Structure 1
Amino acid sequence: MNHTAPDINAEVVQQDTQAWLEKAVIGLNLCPFAKSVHVNQRLRYVVSSASTPEDLLKELAHELLFLKRADPDEIETSVLIHPQVLTDFLDFNDFLGAADALVEDLELDGELQIASFHPRYQFAGTEVDDISNYSNRSPYPTLHLLRESSIERATETMADTDAIYEANMQTLEKLGLEGWKALGLKA
């Protein structure tokens, strides 16, 4: 489902997102669980045509229900990329409350959850260009829909999941802003 406005090229949006996944998320091992889902082609990319938060919420509901019904061996996780709406990080951040409420309204709490990525992602208490923010910076505003059962299986294989965050910070600190830019990712 790649419905986009004429001025948005869904193929380019998807390619930019896939390049970010391959070079940053997998390449820098920011998420040790992403590689197998990607290699086994169980990641669904959806480029949204939404231009309002209300339209995005409708698409999010559709995608949550689609993922719930999908066979996990075929589609384990999904990214809903929305290049035309919530491009301001504060608006995006505010929207996350509505997204989480939607998961509850659809009675998917405990079954599915949403992780958030944005080109201007900024953790509370950090400066805009703090390298730690780049662990959640993607080429376009993106909602990552995850099965909780997949997260549980993945975390069972790790003794200390907090170590992922710590390793990410070390990797990003070592890489620095210049190193991030050298990856050639759209930002």
Structure 2
Amino acid sequence: MSDAVKSDVIQQVQQWLEDVVIGLNLCPFAAKPNRNKQIRIHVCESKAEDQLLEEIYQQIKELDETPAEVLETTLVVAPNLFEKFDNYNQFLDLVDALIIQTGKEGTYQIASFHPDYCFYDTKPDDAENLTNRSPFPIFHLIREASMEKVLKHYPDPEGIPGQNIQCVESLSPEQIKKLFPFLIK
């Protein structure tokens, strides 16, 4: 992957983060670390799942070694893997197993995003799937302690998924095209 292609991947993920995740307030906790430049976007250039798993492990180690004030969270982007959502979804089990095997359960959790994300018991075209659709497959490494800290001050954390679904269901077709250009095939 050339530097230009890698830079384009980072730019697309940053644009999605700012326009969709923060712009639609799908994650009310993302704006501050984004503003403070505490979010790392790591692009895995490999086409091999074992290499991606190793890079996710290395990013977890980097989070361990870096204070949250400097690096709050990491988005591991896999532009060369998981064209099919089912394959991505199965790989999430390996990521969860990695977190358990490294003793990091309770320290980190994964939020998952994919261009074809489809929640269980939904149809692919259901609007609620937009809440987890991204330009590329992404594994978001979240510090649980940071999440617990911000949730203490948030009035209705249990209501966030419902609010997000309402938000994306209210988008016009034009807004969807503008916010999710990567979905147009």
The reply to whether TM is greater than 0.5 is: yes
Following superposition, the deviation at residue 13 of structure 1 comes to 0.3
Counterpart in the other structure of 2:125: 129
Correspondence for 1:161 = 157
Matches within 5 A, 1:15-164: 15-164=11-160
Percent sequence identity is: 37
Contact map agreement 1:53 1:86 (CA 8 A) in 2? no
- Cα-to-partner distance string for 1:61-96 (whole Å, 9 max, x where unaligned): 111111111111100000000100122100000000
1:124-161 Cα deviation digits (max 9, x unpaired): 11111111000000000000001001110111112321
- Hey, what's the Cα distance between the residues in 2 that align with 1:27 and 1:161? 18
| Moved >4 Å (runs of 4+) | none
- Distance in 1, matches of 2:58 and 2:128, equals 32
1:22-60 deviation line (CA, Å, top 9, x unaligned): 110011101100000100110011011120111111111
Comparing 167-176 with 70-79, greater Cα deviation is found at: 167-176
Give the structure 1 partner of residue 168 of structure 2.
172
Does the residue aligned with 1:97 lie in a helix, a strand or coil? helix
**C-alpha contact 1:42 1:76 (8 A) present in aligned 2:** yes
Hey, what's the Cα distance between the residues in 2 that align with 1:185 and 1:78?
Answer: 23
- Distance apart, 1:113 and its partner CA: 1.1
User: Which TM-score applies when normalising by structure 2?
Assistant: 0.94
Cα distance in 1 for partners of 2:173, 2:140 equals 24
| Residue pair 1:46, 1:80 contacting (<8 A) in 2 also | yes
> Any gaps of 5 or more consecutive residues in structure 2?
none
Q: 1:45 to 1:101 in 2, by over 3 A?
A: same
Supply the distance in 2 between the matched residues of 1:8 and 1:107 (Cα, whole angstroms).
Answer: 37
Distance 1:104 1:68 in 2: 15
Change (3 A) 1:159 1:85: same
Change (3 A) 1:182 1:6: closer
Distance 2:180 2:123 in 1: 22
Q: Quote the offset at 1:177 in angstroms.
A: 4.2
Q: Distance in 1 between matches of 2:86 and 2:3?
A: 24
RMSD: 1.5
